[in-house]
Structure 1
Amino acid sequence: MRFTDKSIIVTGAGSGIGRAAATLFAAEGGKVIVADVTDGAEATAKAIRDAGGVAEAIRIDAGSEEDVVKAVALACDRYGGLDVMFANAGISGGMANIFDTSVELITEVLRVNLIGPYLAVKHAAPRIAERGKGAIILTASVAGIRSGAGSPAYSASKAGVINLARVSAQQLAGSNVRVNAICPGLTETGMTKPTFDYARDAGKMDRVGRLNPLRRGAQPEELAKVALFLASDDASYVNGQAIAVDGGLSSSHPVTKQEYGRTAV
């Protein structure tokens, strides 16, 4: 029960990693504001309440400053303050290359994926600091670490999130508010559902995640547990970091693969 009576906001909590995190926060005693741009927010909050937890849904656009302010105000009004902000909401923006990506598309991807976390830090950090200590977690991606895991628009936005976490940690020096990012690899969420559905229908699930050493994709709960660790006192000395949770994908440059127990050809 690491989050007993803690006030927590999770954006993008209508599905995937956000829903898994909101559920786990509540299971460990947290009082959760479940935020999403879809009706999934209420579904997540209802499931938490049905399980005996505390949650309230709010429908917001994570890239809108007005909406982020509303979410922070709701947490402070309902739960007396704010202890944890998990800025998880994001969009993929498709897989267009640089030359086929319109200015409108990259602007929208950056608005949600990068300006959204920036707004979360801007408006959540002062409220968390009032509590004496707390944490902000931002969802980045392995696509923000190096090329090969996303479109130019998506990858650029997530690289920005990684640096935002580092800069924010420095600018919040002395506040006792920690800021870290998680960098998921291929994870089964609403965003990646078509990929997983296709693999299942085609009998090719053995090819999903085949480039990482674990040879599989991740489930949302596996990412959510890392976010909870970073939000908890267990990570009290972890600050300004970007943690890759990708089955080992980003641990290597491209090489000829060697299978365990035998040499690959």
Structure 2
Amino acid sequence: MMRFEGKSVIVTGAGSGIGRAAAIAFAAEGARVVCADLSDGAAATATTIGPAARAIRMDAGSEADVIRTVELAVAEHGGIDVMFANAGISGGLPGIFDTDAALFAEVLRVNLLGPFLAIKHAAPRIARRGGGAIVLTASVAGLRSGAGSPAYSASKAGVINLAQVAAQQLSGSNVRVNALLPGLTETGMTAPVFDHARAVDKLDRIGRLNPLRRAAQPEELAKVALFLASAEASYVNGQALAADGGLSSSHPVTRQDYGQTAA
């Protein structure tokens, strides 16, 4: 039995990276998927999936666009069972004193206002179907410093708290809300880092700070998103689940390789 047989799922940021991988994975498990993205990639993802998918151009931080996306899922699939609010932007890597207020506000508009709007407009529809799940893409950058710019990190910290608040405010609705916290993952957002590493033959150094000593692929994060959205996670609610190779399990330390003894 496929986990999402007959379920209606919205995936934002479905044009590339984790969103694209998740949309394809949801469909492979029986879901009917609305692929939403500001880029043309949403249409490409929907084409890859086939008849079970619909595409829509959506700005995650636009309330009108989010409403249109929810309405499309309801019209095409009869309702909504899962909302994966995954869309986000990095805003680059400027420090506090190199970030202007407009850039900071834009990152928060997409990364934090977007998930808020997804909850606000999808949750009532999910509740009407008898319950389901909302998964928000946050980041390990939302836990502590060192994994993103000030604006990006602040936005993702907000997403983590938003998942907790929403889970509480949806008490009794049977709508679960959880946050997925990816570590370094090879996506369109991080492509410049990976492309540079390949160009200088240092790809093996990417992700070396976590115990698995590597970066993640989008499909690995998609599997975690599907778990949180599935009945397998039926008692998981209001949580922030880090999928980061163990990066966030420790404060920075100087360590020996396993099996070596200290001098």
Alpha-carbon distance in structure 2 between the residues aligned to 1:132 and 1:117: 21
**Amino acid of the structure 2 residue aligned with 1:2:** R
Query: Within the alignment, does 1:255 sit opposite 2:253 as a pair?
Result: yes
Q: Does 2:139 correspond to 1:138?
A: no
| CA deviation profile, 1:215-247 (whole Å, cap 9, x unmatched) | 000000000000000000000000000000000
Q: Relative to structure 2, which stretch is displaced further, 196-205 or 37-46?
A: 196-205
> For 1:225 and 1:78, how far apart are their aligned partners in 2?
25
Asked if 1:157 corresponds to 2:150, the answer is no
Show the counterpart of 1:13.
Answer: 14
SS at match of 1:180: strand
1:218-237 paired onto structure 2 within 5 Å: 218-237=216-235
TM-score by length of 2: 0.98
Aligned partner letter, 1:5: G
Q: Which residue of 1 aligns with 2:34?
A: 33
1-side partners of 2:183 and 2:201: how far apart?
22
Structure 2 counterpart of 1:190: 188
Q: Following TM superposition, by how much is the alpha carbon of 1:201 offset from its aligned partner in structure 2, in angstroms?
A: 1.3
Q: Deviations over 1:14-35 (max 9, x none)?
A: 0000000000000000000000
Q: Does 1:90 align with 2:84?
A: no
Which whole-Å deviations, capped at 9, do the CAs of 1:90-110 have from their partners, x for residues lacking one?
000011111111000000000
**1:263–1:194 CA distance, 2 compared to 1 (3 A):** farther
Please say if 1:55 is aligned against 2:53: yes
Question: Structure 1-normalised TM-score?
Answer: 0.98
Distance 2:36 2:52 in 1: 14
Partner SS state of residue 84, structure 2? strand
* CA distance 1:264–1:81, change in 2 (3 Å): farther
Q: What is the CA-CA distance between 1:257 and the residue it aligns to?
A: 1.3
Aligned residue for 1:257, secondary structure, equals: coil
SS in 2 for 1:194: helix
Alpha-carbon distance in structure 2 between the residues aligned to 1:133 and 1:9: 15
Deviations 1:11-56 (A, max 9, x none): 000000000000000000000000000000000000000xxx5000
SS at 2:53 equivalent:
strand
Q: Unpaired runs of 5+ in structure 1?
A: none
Which residue does 2:3 correspond to in 1? 2
Q: Which runs of 4+ in 1 moved over 2 A?
A: none
Q: Give the match's secondary structure for 2:107.
A: helix
Say which of 211, 214, 224 aligns to 2:212. Answer: 214
Note the aligned Cα RMSD (angstroms). 0.8
- Partner of 1:211, secondary structure, is coil
Asked if 2 retains the 8 angstrom alpha-carbon contact of 1:212 and 1:247, the reply is yes
Q: For the residues of structure 2 that align with 1:92 and 1:167, how far apart are their CA atoms?
A: 24
What is the aligned length?
Answer: 262
1:258 deviates by: 2.1
2:44 is the alignment partner of 1:46: no
Query: In 1, Cα distance between the equivalents of 2:98 and 2:204?
Result: 31
**1:25 counterpart letter in structure 2:** F
Q: Cα offset for 1:256?
A: 1.4
Distance across 2 between alignment mates of 1:154 and 1:31:
31
Structure 2 distance, partners of 1:251, 1:258, is 16
**Could you list the per-position Cα deviations for residues 52-71 of structure 1 after superposition, in whole angstroms to 9, with x for gaps in the alignment?**
x5000000101000000000
Q: What is the letter of the counterpart of residue 41 of structure 1?
A: A
Give 1:81's aligned residue. Answer: 79
User: Structure 1 counterpart of 2:223, which letter?
Assistant: K
1:206 to partner: Cα distance? 1.4
Answer yes or no: is the 8 Å Cα contact 1:257–1:264 preserved in 2. Answer: no
Secondary structure of 1:56's counterpart equals strand
**How far apart, in 1, do the equivalents of 2:260 and 2:191 lie?**
33
Deviations 1:191-234 (A, max 9, x none): 00011111111110111000000000000000000000000000
Gaps of 5+ in 2: none
Judged with a 3 Å threshold, the aligned counterparts in structure 2 of structure 1 residues 233 and 257 are, in CA distance, closer, same or farther, namely same
Q: Structure 1 residues 70, 206: CA separation in 2 closer, same or farther (over 3 Å shift)? A: same
What is the CA distance between 1:254 and its match in structure 2?
A: 1.2
Q: Alpha carbons of 1:262 and 1:58: their partners in 2 closer, same or farther (altered >3 Å)?
A: same
